[in-house]
Amino acid sequence: MSAAGDGRRRLLLICVGLLAGALALWGSSRLTWFSATVVTATRGEVELAATGADLEPAPAGIALLAVAAVAAAIAVSGIARRALGGVIVLAGAAAGAITLTGLLSPPPVERLAVLLDVSLGSDPAATLPSVPVGVTPAPWLGVVGSVLLLAAGAALLVGERGLPRFGGRYAAPGARRPAVDPDRAAWQELDAGRDPTVDVADGAQTQAGPGGDPSTRRV
């Protein structure tokens, strides 16, 4: 496989990683992370279920950032693409820190009730201290998404030199040539002693002559 083909394949993998990471973070934020059942004397059993977005909305925003980064990774190159990779690495690290913090320190029932706008404090018979908080596998989906963003961002940051630059395909290698006035160009040709009615190919042929004789010239 050529170097150009390998670069395109790696950029494709980076874009797939960004999209997969965004999907994982978004899905994790919409799923239930923690749940609990509180038993009260007046209301009976009260079910509490908090999603990732209820606890922290940042991962969902990071997912949208990752989706936008796909188009940016294709459009930009050089320092801009490396800077984009650094931003993605920081975003993935932030999402991972938020998710792991939730896994290692589940919120108490009181906080779940506050997040879900459920009032339990007015009931003295509510058995809050003995209620366990259940943890679902949904936060681990967020961890996977964070790792994918970290990997994609690191690939952009470190391996940008080998990635294709699609924007350069449409850019001129040098400064754009200004428009030339045909009449002025004709006078310049006459001043230089050349016939403006003869193009370059015909001029070379007429100067050399049919037999390669440079003395023969047709005007």
Write down the domain spans for the chain. 3-170, 181-219
CA atoms of 63 and 20, how far apart (whole Å): 10
End-to-end CA distance of the chain: 53
Q: Which stretch of 19-23, 148-152, 189-193 has the lowest confidence by average pLDDT?
A: 189-193
Nearest to 99 by CA among 45, 138, 148: 138
pLDDT of residue 121: 54
Report d(CA 209, CA 90) in Å as an integer.
Answer: 70
Higher pLDDT, 196 or 126: 196
Which residue in 146, 142, 143 sits closest to 27, CA to CA? 142
Mean pLDDT of 24-38: 92
Q: How far is 216 from 219, CA to CA, in rounded Å? A: 10
Domain covering 3-170 assigned CATH 1.20.140 in the classification = yes
CA distances from 170 to 53, 146, 167, 180 (A): 42, 34, 6, 22
**Per-residue model confidence (pLDDT) at position 169:** 47
The pLDDT value given to residue 137: 93
Please give the average per-residue pLDDT across 23-40, as a whole number.
90
Q: What is the pTM of this model?
A: 0.68
Confidence at residue 144, expressed as pLDDT on a 0 to 100 scale: 97
**Location of structure tokens 């999603």:** 51
Average pLDDT over residues 142-149: 97
16 contacts: CB under 8 Å, gap ≥ 6:
none
C-alpha closest to that of 33 among 161, 179, 135: 135
DSSP H/E element including 25: helix 3-30
Neighbours of 103 (CB within 10 A): 15
Segment 153-185, tens digit of pLDDT? 999 999 878 787 765 444 444 445 555 566 677
Is the CB of residue 216 less than 8 Å from the CB of residue 209? Answer: yes
At 34, which amino acid appears? F
Q: Which residues pair with 46 in a beta bridge?
A: 38
